[in-house]
Amino acid sequence: MTGSKLRVKPHRAHPTMEDVARRAGVSRALVSLVFRESPNVSDERRARVVSAAAELGYSPNLAARALASRRTRTVGVLLNTLSNPFFAEITEGIEAVASELRYHLLLSTGGRNRRREVDALDAFLENRVDGGILVSPDVSAADLARLAKVAPLVVTGRLLRGPGIDRVNTDDALGAHLAVAHLADLGHHHITHIDGGDGANSRPRRAGYERAMRERGLEPVVIPAEFTEVAGADAVDRILRRSPLPTAIFAANDLIAAGAMDRLEDEGLRIPEDISLVGYDNTFLAALHHVSLTTINQPRQEMGRLAMRTLIQRLDEPDRRPVTHILEPSLVVRRTTGPPPRG
C-alpha cells in the first residue's frame, strides 16, 4: 500500500440483507430476489422487504454482489485527457447510456502516456470490469489483447482487430474530402493543408486531403505542423513565403485553424475575402460567433453512445463476430469560407 498510512476507519456498519430479512420477517434469499427484481415474489412480501430496507437505510453492497455473481456492471473507460473537449464529449455520450442502463464507469485518463495507460488496463482487470471502452489508446496490441481475453472491448480511433474487440470510428478521410470538395466547389484551386504531424487522426485526414485534391486534378500541398494554435500560426508564416499563395487553407483541426486565422489577419489578409479557411472537429471554439469557423463536425456524443451500446450488445451476445461502426463526419459552413479572390 503506497502513499497515505491507511489508518482508514472501516465503514460504519452498513445494514446487510440479513438485517433487512430479519426486519421484514423473511429469509435472506427472498430479500436478494426482491433486489434483483425477480418476478417470482408476491407483492405483499415484496412491499414488506422494500419498506424494511428503506427503514434501515439499506443499500446493497456491490462488492459482495460482484464476488458472488462474477459480474460488476461496470465498464472501464480509457481516454487521453478530459481537458480536450473532444474526449470529454465522447465520455458524456458513454456516460449517458451507461447511466440509463445502470452501468458504472471506471474512468482513467492515460494522458498519451503508455505506462499510465497500462496501469489503467490493470485497474480494469483488477476491478473485473464487464467490458472496456478505449478511446484512441496508445497501448500495444499485446496489452490490449490481454485485456480483451477477459472482457470485451470497444476501441475507437484505431484499426485493431481481434476476438472480443469491436470498433467505432469516424471516417476522417471522408471529412477531408468534404472540406476539399466544399472549397473546390467555391472555385478554389490552390488549397493548402496544414497537417497535425503524428497526432492521432492526422494521417487519414492528410491522406483524404491528398486523394481529394488529386481526384480533381489539383496539386496537394502539405505544410507539416501539429495540433496546436501556435503551430497553426507558424505554418501560415511558412505558407506566406511560398508562391503561388493558396486561396484556401484546410487545417487538420480547429486549433490549428484558430492560430492560422490570427496570423493571417495580422498580415492584413481578410477571411474569407482574401483567403478561405476550414478547420476540423467543430469544437466549441469554431462555433464562437467571434471565430465562426467553417469546419468538419464529428458526432462526438454519438460516438460515445454508440461505443457503449456496442459494448452492451456484445455483453448480451459474446460470440457474435466483431463489428466495426463507422460514423460519418459532416461539413459545417460558417463564415470563413467563400469564393477565391478575382484575378
Subset of residues 40 to 79 that bind DNA, contact rule: CB under 7 A: 40-42, 45, 58, 60-61, 64-65, 67-71
Selected from 151, 165, 168, 183, the binder of its own copies by CB under 8 A is 151
Ranges within 98-137 binding its own copies (CB under 8 A): 99-102, 104-109, 116, 119, 122-123, 125-128, 130
Query: Residue 88 binds which one of its own copies, DNA, none, with CB within 5 to 8 A depending on kind?
Result: its own copies
64 near its own copies (CB under 8 A): yes
CA–CA gap between residue 320 and residue 86 (Å, rounded): 30
Ranges within 313-332 binding its own copies (CB under 8 A): 313, 315-318
Backbone angles phi, psi at 131, to 5 degrees: -170, 175
CA–CA gap between residue 276 and residue 193 (Å, rounded): 12
Q: Which amino acid is at 307?
A: A
DSSP state of 66: H
CA–CA gap between residue 235 and residue 147 (Å, rounded): 41
Selected from 285, 303, 306, 307, the binder of its own copies by CB under 8 A is 285
14/149 with CB nearer DNA: 14
Ranges within 5-44 binding DNA (CB under 7 A): 13-14, 16-18, 26-30, 32-33, 35-36, 40-42
CA–CA gap between residue 175 and residue 212 (Å, rounded): 10
Cα distances (angstroms) measured from residue 136 to each of 187, 225, 239, 276: 36, 20, 31, 31
150 near DNA (CB under 7 A): no
Q: Is the bond leading into 244 cis (omega within 30 degrees of zero)?
A: yes
Element (H, E) at 208: helix 202-215
Ranges within 213-232 binding its own copies (CB under 8 A): 229
Question: Residues 183-202: x/- map of binding to its own copies (CB under 8 A)?
Answer: --------------------
CA–CA gap between residue 308 and residue 238 (Å, rounded): 43
Site residues for DNA per CB under 7 A: 13-14, 16-18, 26-30, 32-33, 35-36, 40-42, 45, 58, 60-61, 64-65, 67-71
